[in-house]
Structure 1
C-alpha cells in the first residue's frame, strides 16, 4: 500500500490518526449539510409551517433570507468535529480492548460494546455545542453562533442548560452509533466475503474505499430509522415545546416520532455517513493503515493476526 507515512497500528499515533481523521471527516461533512440540518430542526419544531423539503426551504428563504440556511454552521463544524474525533478514535480503542478481553465472544457483541462506549464520551463532548446550535437554528433572535450563544445560554440557564438534553442525545446517538458501526462492520465483511470474494489486502486502495462507501451508506440508512424518535425529542426539548420527554411523546404522537422529518434525515444522514467513512478511511490509507472493518487480535504467542476474511 502506497503511503507518504507509516503509522504502527494500536500505537498512540494510530489512535491519534483515528481521532484526527474522525474529527476532520465529521466536522467537514456536517458543515456541508448545514442547510438541510436547519430545515430538519425547523420541521421537527414546527411541522405545520415546514411540512416539506422544497416548501420548507422556500419558506425559510422567503421569510429570513438565504443566509438563514447557514445558521448554526459553527456548531456543526466544531461540535460534530469534536464528537467525530471521540467517536471514531475511541471506537477503535474500545474495539481493540474488548476484542482482547472477550476473545470467545461474538464479534457483533464487541462492535456493540465498542460503539456504545465511544458514543457515551462523544456525546458528552457534543452536548454543549448541540444545545447552542439548535437554539440558533430555530430562534433567530437567540444568537448568531457559538461565540455569542455560549455566554448567553450560560447566563440564562447556567451549566445545566448545556447538558439538559444529554439523556435524549444519548437516546438518539447511542442506538444510531451501535447500529451504524455494527452494520458497517458486517457490511464490509459481507462485501469482501460474498461479493468481491477476495481478501482486503488483495484489493487496490480504490476498491477498498469503494467497499467503505457502500458499507457506510448502508450503515447510515439503517441507523437513521432507529434514531429518528430520539432526534425529534432532542429538537423539541431544546426549544421548550414541552416540559418533559413524556409530554413531548404525547404531543407529537408515538408513531409520528418515527416518521416526522424522516425523509430529510435520510437525505442528510445517508450521504453524510458515507462521506465520513470515505474521508476517514482515506486518511487511514494515506498513513499506511488498512481501511476500516474487521477484528485484529493478539493471540497468546504475541503475534498479530491479520484481518479476518471470513466469519
Structure 2
C-alpha cells in the first residue's frame, strides 16, 4: 500500500477515489466510468507535479526519508551483476548497517558499498536503521583498500541519518573510524563515485562520500546535522526543524550551487518512492556516464584531483 506524505493528501484523496471507481467498474456489469477515471487521473497527476516542483527544504527531508524509497540493496539488486557480499571488519565484527562487496556494473568489475536502512521492522533492526557503528566504517575501509589493491572502481550508495550515536560506539572509537574511513576514500587510487540516494547525514555520510564525483538524487538531502538536531541546538526547540532545514542548505539544488556536489539525478514525478525502477535506472545511467569519464585517469591523478576538490570547498566564502 502506498504511503502518502502530508503535502500529498490532496493527491491521496483523488487516487483513493480512482481506486473506488475501478472497484465499482470491476464489480458492476455494464458500468463504464472510464471517462471519470481519466479525468481524476489527469487531475491527480497535475496536483502531484505541482507539489513536487515547489517542495520546501523540510518537505524534501520528508521525501528523502520516505519509508518506501528504494534502499541501497535495491540498487545493488537492480544495477549489479555477480554481486558477492563481503562481511566483517577483520577485527571480529560485522556491522550490517554497511553492506558491500564485489560486483560487475554494466560489465565493469567494481567494489560497491552502501548504507542500508532496511524496509520493515525486522530488517531495520538487523541493519540498525542504517546507522553504522565503528565496525561498519572499518568494513568500508577494508573494501576501499581492496579496491585500491586490485584497481577496481568504487561505487557508494549513501542513505543514513548519521553514524550510530550510542555510548558503545563512542567507546569503540566512532570518531576515529569515521575519520579513517574518510581519509581512506580520499587516498583510493581508483575512480570513486558516491551517490546520495536518500538522506546523507553528517560525518556518517561523508565517511563514504569523499569521491571523485558526488551525485545526488533530486529529492535527497545532505547535511552536517539533521534539521531536528540543529533546531534543538540553535533554538532549543525541535519544532523549529523546518526553519533549520531552510538554513542548512541541505537540498541537492542548494548543494550544487555551493559546489559541494557534482550532479543532480532527476527523479520521477512523485519521487523515487513512487517509481523506484525508473529512479534506479536513472542512477545507473548517471553512474555509467561519470564512470566512463574517470576510467581513463591514472590513480595518482585521481587522488590529486580528489584532494584538491575537497580542499577547495568553502574557499570562495573566506
TM-score (norm 1): 0.25
**Which protein, 1 or 2, shows the higher relative CO under an 8 Å CA cutoff with sep ≥ 6?**
1
By percentage of residues, which structure has more strand? 2
